Every structure is written in structure tokens, then in C-alpha cells.
Homo-oligomer: A and B are copies of this chain.
Amino acid sequence: MIAITSSTITDERIAEIVHHIEKFGVQAHVSRGTDRTVIGIIGKAEPKLAEQLRQMSGIDNVIKISKPYKLASRDFHPEDSVIDINGVKIGGGELVIMGGPCAVESPEQIDEIARLVKAAGAQVLRGGAFKPRTGPYSFQGIGVEGLEMMAQAGKKHGLLTITEVMTPEYVDVCAEYADILQVGTRNMQNFDLLRKLGQTNRPVLLKRGFSATYEEFLSAAEYILAGGNPNVMLCERGIRTFESYTRNTLDLAAIPVLKSLSHLPVISDPSHGTGRRELVEPMSKASVAAGADGLIVEMHTDPDNSMTGDGVQSLFPEQFAKLMQDLEKLAPLCGKTFDTKKEPVSIS
């Protein structure tokens, strides 16, 4: 950590600041420039010290050289983390595809979609039972019943399942039914939810907040990791920018950046990342080319009648199947394996 003084600071004030720093049991190393003075803090400082320095008079800027997250950092864990769920290894060289509808609507709907998702070659069934909606009058999901329907469909067709959990109170019930718990973009900094997920043993797919920096994203992951749950996947799902033609701007550079800063698997969501069906295929391929460990893609058998209005970004089943075949060819050029003829996953 470095503190940069104002250009008008006095020697007395520098001495006071150094004295304050040393009370924290770390060393202060003063380096006077022609214009300003730089104080280096050497040793492991408490976060509180940085915060205090930042607000002390005479200090213009405090730059943390260490990162605010540790367990999520590649420095801490140099090898890629691999999350193994019933033999599906996320982050381990196998491209993992999660496909399915925005929302679970009925047993028939989710069963039929699961069949198609499996037939196309994907490994995970996605579907929402609790839906975060901008306004209170929109369809909010069918709740626990939907969890049951999806669990049955997954088991029948040999697919893992992933579903979104919105509030700490529902973590346990979601964990009972689904193999992976998803934290949505609006909840990336719902810290009570993150803390609760840190106490489960279910893998978590954490979506990037639509205006979160990489550092904030990894700090949110750190909440879950620090709670004791090491099984976190990061998901880039588009950020909010001035461009409104697409629903979001899918930030594909996030994939190599996150993989360099962190050991956690990185998944891309081209459906929410673009909000437009015709962009899902090119952006899926681009995600894999950029190094994604997996994709989460919306597919619906009847997008015109989806209950959430997200049909506009859902692939038709035949588009989904075609995409899987293209990815099977593309994956090996991107250091990944992907086999659309894999055996069903055995779900207990």
C-alpha cells in the first residue's frame, strides 16, 4: 500500500502520519519527490489502515498494491479450480453448456426442453422458479413447485440442474433440488445472500453485477469463498453501457481477465449479454474463442409464448442443436473438449 501526500504537506504532518501507521505494527517508508512525498506501507496492514489513511488530511491518494480479495485470487491458488459435479468437471478443460428456458412453466415444458437440451449435447439444465423482475406486476416465477419439476426433468434426462436463488431464506430449499445455485446480476452485492451461500456446499454460479468492476465481482466471490464454500463459478452476462440496441454489452475481455486474476471457472451468458436471439450464436462462439469454460444459453420450445418475455433472446431447439455441433468443432481449437454424444449424467 502506498499513500501519496499533497504537495503542500509539512514535515510535521508526515511525521504524524508515519507515527499513526506504525501503531498498526507495520513499517512506513518515506520517499520524498520534488513535488510530493510517497509513503510506502510495508507489511500486512489491516484494511482499516487504508481506509483511515485515505481520509487523513495531507493524504491525496492511497493506492492498494495488494488486491482486496485473497481466496479468489490466482496468486493464492495458482492452478485452475475444477468443480466436479457427478463427473461434469467445470473449469477442467471440458466445455460445459447449461441450456434451458428462462422460467420453468410446467412439467411438460421443462421435460420436453430437458430432452432437447440433452439430445443436443449439453450437460446442465437451466430454469428459473423464482424470477427477479423489474416491476411487481410481471410474472414472478412459479416457486418451489418449479424446483421439483426441474429436478425431475434433470434426473430423467441425465442433466445437472441450475436455478436462481434470490434471498437467503430460500437457499436451503433451492439447494435441496438443484445441483448449482445461481446468483443473479441484481444480487451480486446482496451480501446476506452471499454469506448464506458460503455456508452451503452447493456449487454457486455468481453472475457479474451489470455495473460491477472486475474487482467488485471477485470481492463478491470472496464473500462466498470466505464463508467456506470453495465451489464458485464466475459468469459474465453483459454490462450496462450507453448502447441500448443490445440489452447489455457482453464484455468478453472479462473472460481472459478473470481467468488471469482468479483460478475460478468463467462462464459466459450470451443470452442476457445481448438480449437478442440472432446474436446468441456469434457471441457463444466468440465466448469460447475468448477462453470461456462454459456457456449458459436460453432455449425454449415456444419462445413466442414464454411467460417472462425473455423468449426474444431464447434460441429455438434446432438453433441450439446446431450451435452445439458448431461448438464441438470449435472447442478443440480453443483448448477445450466438447462431445455432444456424451452419456447422460447420473443424478442421485
Contact yes or no, A304 B57, CB < 8 A:
yes
User: Provided the pairs A54-B312, A210-B211 are in contact, do residues A240 and B242 lie with their beta carbons within 8 angstroms?
Assistant: yes
Least distance between A115 CB and chain B CB atoms (Å): 22
A25 to B213, CA, bound (A): 38
In the complex, identify which listed stretch (A81-89, A199-207, A245-253, A340-348) lies at the interface while the others stay far away.
A245-253
A34 within 8 Å of B by Cβ?
yes
Contact yes or no, A189 B132, CB < 8 A:
yes
Determine the chain B residues whose CB is within 8 A of the CB of A220 once the complex forms.
134
Closest residue to A274 on the B side, CB-wise?
A: B253
Contact yes or no, A135 B47, CB < 8 A:
yes
In the complex, identify which listed stretch (A105-113, A119-127, A172-180, A281-289) lies at the interface while the others stay far away.
A281-289
Least distance between A89 CB and chain B CB atoms (Å): 22
> On chain A, which size bracket covers the interface?
35 or more
Among B135, B222, B256, the residue within 8 A (CB) of A282 is B256
In the complex, identify which listed stretch (A65-73, A91-99, A146-154, A155-163) lies at the interface while the others stay far away.
A65-73
* Cross-chain pairs A/B with CB under 8 angstroms, 30 sampled: A31-B42, A33-B40, A34-B43, A50-B309, A51-B306, A51-B307, A51-B311, A52-B306, A52-B311, A54-B309, A68-B135, A132-B191, A136-B219, A136-B223, A136-B227, A213-B244, A239-B241, A239-B242, A240-B242, A244-B244, A246-B253, A249-B251, A252-B283, A253-B283, A256-B282, A256-B283, A260-B278, A283-B290, A285-B290, A330-B333
Chain A residues with a Cβ under 8 A of chain B = 2, 4, 7, 29, 31-36, 38, 40-44, 47-48, 50-52, 54-57, 63, 65-66, 68-69, 75, 132-139, 166-169, 186-187, 189-193, 195, 210-211, 213-216, 219-220, 222-223, 226-227, 239-246, 249-253, 255-257, 260, 273-274, 278-279, 282-283, 285-291, 303-312, 314, 326, 329-330, 333-334
13 extra interface residue pairs, beta carbon distance < 8 Å, beyond A38-B40, A134-B216: A29-B31, A36-B65, A38-B38, A51-B306, A167-B192, A186-B189, A190-B190, A211-B211, A239-B241, A250-B253, A256-B283, A257-B279, A285-B289
